[in-house]
Amino acid sequence: MKTIPHTQIAEPAVTCSTCAACCCQLEVMLITDTGVPDRFIDTDEWGGEVMLRLDDGWCAALDRDSMMCTIYERRPLICREFEMGAPECIEERRGIATAYR
């Protein structure tokens, strides 16, 4: 019988569509005006604008049924630049592995 070397066992593909929006628990500073509605904006302890996060840590603009961004067209610059599959993304997914959908 031919055995498969451990290194060839496929990792699940990294894609937002099967991810529990892990990165949407990070603090997101608003450094440019992309049109985020006021109800989703909070102020941090230094007076800077950040995305409002709910008690469980997730961004208030996240749809909890679909785990999709409800303001995708107006999402902050930082969210636009957070790259799927980048080291930061992998790190966030690792930290919340039990929440994969």
For 26-53, letters b (16+ CB in 10 Å) and e give: bebebeeeeebeeebeeeeeeeebbbbb
User: In the chain, what's the furthest Cα-to-Cα distance?
Assistant: 64
State whether residue 87 is helix, strand or coil.
helix
If the CB atoms of residues 12 and 47 are measured against ligand SF4, the closer one turns out to be 12
If the CB atoms of residues 1 and 97 are measured against ligand SF4, the closer one turns out to be 97
**Encoded tokens for 99:** 């929440």
Quote the least distance from Cβ 16 to ligand SF4, whole Å: 3
Quote the least distance from Cβ 96 to ligand SF4, whole Å: 8
If the CB atoms of residues 5 and 12 are measured against ligand SF4, the closer one turns out to be 12
Binding residues vs ligand SF4 (CB under 6 A):
14, 16, 19, 21-24, 28, 51, 59, 61-62, 69, 71, 75-76, 79, 82, 84, 89, 92-93
Quote the least distance from Cβ 44 to ligand SF4, whole Å: 15
Amino acid identity of residue 95, one-letter, is G
Quote the least distance from Cβ 82 to ligand SF4, whole Å: 6
- Write down the H helix ranges in the chain: 77-81, 87-95
